[in-house]
Amino acid sequence: MKKIDGWVTAPQGFLAAGVKAGIKASGNHDVAVIYSTVPAANGAVFTQNKMCAAPVLVSREVAQEAVAQAIIVNSGCANACTGEQGLLDAREMQAFAADLLGIEPQNVYVCSTGVIGHFLPMDKIKNGLADAVDVMDENEGESCAMAIQTTDTFIKRAAYEFEVGGKTARIAGIAKGAGMIHPNMATMLTFLTTDAAIAPDVLKRAVKAAADKSFNMVVVDGDTSTNDSMIVLANGLAENEIIFSEEHPDYPAF
């Protein structure tokens, strides 16, 4: 396994972008999209806080699907503790992005992070999503990582290349989170992309196992948040033999 210089667009078939939509008072990047050019196996884990934000409720439904193709994110407003209106807004975000991308809403993950108790500024969200989809490409991974930050003082990213089934595959990720970190995740968003081929059910179990050994052991200040999401997309474009079980010889490498 070799560390490389890359963003979430390092694996084959992934595009991304982050834009300034005016949600944050600072004027910094605040809307992001990550898109796989082909349907991808997906796995996710979320906060265990009993108060789940609206985007978590929507994304949990996406996590039940065999495939997904996009992750949309806004920072600056968590859309948490917003009741029925918050849920409607999260679904509207999802449907709007799906239409822009030409895919089904159930294949779009929705994430939000920021201030709790405020409604999403939907006009800004939609304009930001349209702008992000318009400029997304393989070279916008950094702007995407910038757009998911809130109180973070630096970008968190990693990218690796590894051999699987005689093929060269890549895996990359970005994360945000500075406070409210407690076992079973926290105010944290983590998005990983890979071009390795793995069966959806196996990926879902692998994501849970990986989170249990990493993020679910971290404590910063003893608080667990409402919006935590770790999402993985695996689109198979490395063309390795699909990893169909934990007993597959390539599963340990993955």
Alpha-carbon distance of 174 to 192, in angstroms, equals 7
Select which of 9, 113, 187, 193 is catalytic. 187
226 close to 90: Cβ distance less than 8 angstroms? no
- The reply to whether 187 belongs to the active site is yes
Residues noted as catalytic: 187
